[in-house]
C-alpha cells in the first residue's frame, strides 16, 4: 500500500479517508487492521478511529465491511461474474471466509448473497 508523505495527525479528514479507500482499496485485504490504514495515511490509529466514529457513526470494522459489501454486490450483479462461486466473490470482496461474508452480507442487506445474486440476475 502506498503511503501519504507527512504525518497528518488531527488534520485527517473524511475526503482523504474516502480517497485512500477508493484508490488503494485496502478493504480487499481480509486481515486489514486499523494500524495498516493509519500507516497508509501517515497518521495514528486514534485519529482514524475517531474520524470514522464521528463522521460515519460506526466502528472501523463496519466501515471496512461497508466497502466489502458494496464490492460483493457489484460482483454479484456483474454478468461476467455469473459463474463465480460465492467463495471467490467473498475473497474478491476482501472477506477472510465465506461464512463471515454470508453473515455480514445478510446483516447489512437483510438477504443472503445467493438470493441477492438470483434477484439481480434474473
* Residue pLDDT, tens place only, 38-56: 999 999 999 999 999 999 9
CA distance linking residue 103 with residue 8, whole number of Å? 35
Please give the mean pLDDT across all residues of the chain. 90
Residue 63 has pLDDT above 70, yes or no: yes
Q: Which CATH number fits domain 67-120: 1.10.10.60, 3.20.20.150, 1.10.630.10, 3.30.70.1050?
A: 1.10.10.60
pLDDT of residue 121: 77
CA distance linking residue 94 with residue 26, whole number of Å? 9
Lowest mean pLDDT among 10-19, 24-33, 44-53, 89-98: 10-19
User: Where are the domains positioned within the chain?
Assistant: 10-62, 67-120
Cell 471466509 sits at which residue? 97
pLDDT of residue 10: 56
Q: Is the distance from CB of 41 to CB of 17 less than 8 angstroms?
A: yes
pLDDT of residue 5: 38
Residue 3 confidence class, pLDDT cut points 50, 70, 90: very low
pLDDT of residue 7: 47
Amino acid at each position: 500500500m502506498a503511503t501519504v508523505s507527512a504525518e497528518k495527525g488531527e488534520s485527517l479528514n473524511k475526503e482523504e479517508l474516502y480517497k485512500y479507500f477508493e484508490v488503494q482499496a485496502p478493504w480487499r485485504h481480509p486481515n486489514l487492521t486499523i494500524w495498516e490504514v493509519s500507516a497508509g495515511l501517515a497518521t495514528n490509529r486514534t485519529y482514524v478511529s475517531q474520524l470514522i466514529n464521528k463522521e460515519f457513526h460506526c466502528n472501523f470494522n463496519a466501515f471496512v465491511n461497508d466497502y466489502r459489501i458494496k464490492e460483493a454486490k457489484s460482483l454479484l450483479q456483474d454478468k461476467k461474474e455469473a459463474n463465480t462461486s460465492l467463495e471467490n466473490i467473498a475473497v474478491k470482496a476482501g472477506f477472510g471466509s465465506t461464512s463471515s461474508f454470508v453473515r455480514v452480507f445478510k446483516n447489512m442487506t437483510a438477504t443472503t448473497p445467493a438470493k441477492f445474486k438470483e434477484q439481480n440476475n434474473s
